[in-house]
């Protein structure tokens, strides 16, 4: 056997196992078809769940929402959050609000001095922002998802209906869900300030 033929034989011998491992075009097409079919099945399931969440049967709406939240499937939970927060059903909207808040580690508020309070308080509020910025972070530790409560040290709070209340030492606030993803209300810090505060849930 010539040297060139020996080299060619060796290359073919090494390449053969790789060729066996590589999927054929037909196999690749079959795998793609399976993925697409699975995606279509999932899309049909999601569409059916959305119909139930927006359907006329209140008990089915709430039961389906609760099952989606507890499913452990992140996609289903996100769909439940989105649909629930936009729902015209105040009970499901409150359930979604509580579930979303309980899924967070922190709430980030944007503060603006409240123009309706006495000038001295407005000045103290403006000074606070000048020194520390207009952001305030509320940690959501020690959560009880069923009760809608959270607690860490001297900090505690609760989600009730579409309202969130917290108290942490000299800081406290009361905020309400104003649309499908925004909280708005009043936050007081250090006993001598008062701010209009907003926070995005998503």
Lowest mean pLDDT among 34-43, 112-121, 148-157, 178-187: 34-43
74-85 and 25-53 are packed helices; what angle lies between their axes, rounded to 10 degrees? Answer: 30
Phi, psi of 199 (to 5 degrees): -150, 140
Query: For the chain, how big is the Rg over CA atoms in Å?
Result: 28
Domain boundaries, the chain: 3-101, 105-200
pLDDT, residue 7, reads 42
- Asked if residue 46 has pLDDT above 90, the reply is no
Check residue 45 and give its pLDDT.
83
Q: How far is CA 1 from CA 4, 5, 12, 14, in A?
A: 8, 6, 15, 18
Amino acid 41: pLDDT: 79
The 8-class DSSP code of residue 189 comes to: -
Read off the pLDDT of each residue in 39-54 and give the average, rounded to a whole number.
86
State the pTM of this model.
0.77
Residue 111 has pLDDT above 50, yes or no: yes
| Greater model confidence, 42 or 169 | 169
Q: Whole-angstrom Cα distance, residue 185 to residue 111? A: 10
Q: Over 70: is that where the pLDDT of 15 sits?
A: no
Distance CA 2, CA 73 (A): 62
Q: Indicate the pLDDT class of residue 3, thresholds 50, 70 and 90.
A: low
How high is the mean pLDDT of the chain? 87
Q: What is the pLDDT of residue 6?
A: 53
pLDDT at 180: 80
Taking only the tens place, the pLDDT of each residue in 155-197 is 899 999 999 999 988 999 999 999 888 999 999 998 899 999 9
SS3 content of the chain, % helix, strand, coil (to 5): 50, 25, 25
Does residue 125 carry a pLDDT above 60? yes
Res 18: pLDDT: 46
pLDDT band at 13 (very low <50, low <70, confident <90, very high): low
Strands (E), the chain: 106-113, 135-139, 149-152, 155-160, 163-168, 171-177, 182-188, 195-200
Collect all residues with Cβ–Cβ distance below 8 Å to 18 and sequence separation of at least 6.
none
């Amino acid at each position: 056997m010539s040297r060139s033929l020996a080299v060619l034989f060796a290359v073919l011998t090494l390449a053969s196992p790789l060729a066996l491992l590589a999927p054929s075009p037909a196999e690749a097409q079959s795998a793609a078809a399976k993925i697409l079919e699975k995606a279509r099945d999932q899309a049909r399931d999601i569409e059916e769940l959305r119909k139930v969440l927006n359907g006329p049967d209140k008990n089915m709406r709430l039961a389906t929402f609760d099952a989606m939240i507890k499913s452990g499937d992140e996609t289903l939970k996100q769909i439940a959050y989105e649909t629930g927060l936009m729902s015209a059903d105040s009970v499901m909207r409150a359930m979604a609000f509580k579930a979303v808040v309980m899924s967070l580690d922190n709430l980030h508020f944007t503060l603006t001095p409240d123009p309706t309070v006495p000038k001295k308080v407005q000045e103290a509020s403006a000074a606070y922002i000048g020194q520390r910025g207009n952001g305030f972070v509320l940690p959501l530790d020690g959560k009880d998802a069923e009760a809608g409560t959270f607690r860490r040290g001297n900090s505690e709070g609760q989600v009730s209906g579409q309202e969130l209340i917290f108290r942490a030492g000299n800081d406290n606030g009361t905020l309400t869900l104003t649309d499908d993803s925004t909280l708005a209300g009043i936050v007081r810090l250090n006993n001598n300030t008062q701010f209009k505060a907003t926070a995005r849930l998503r």
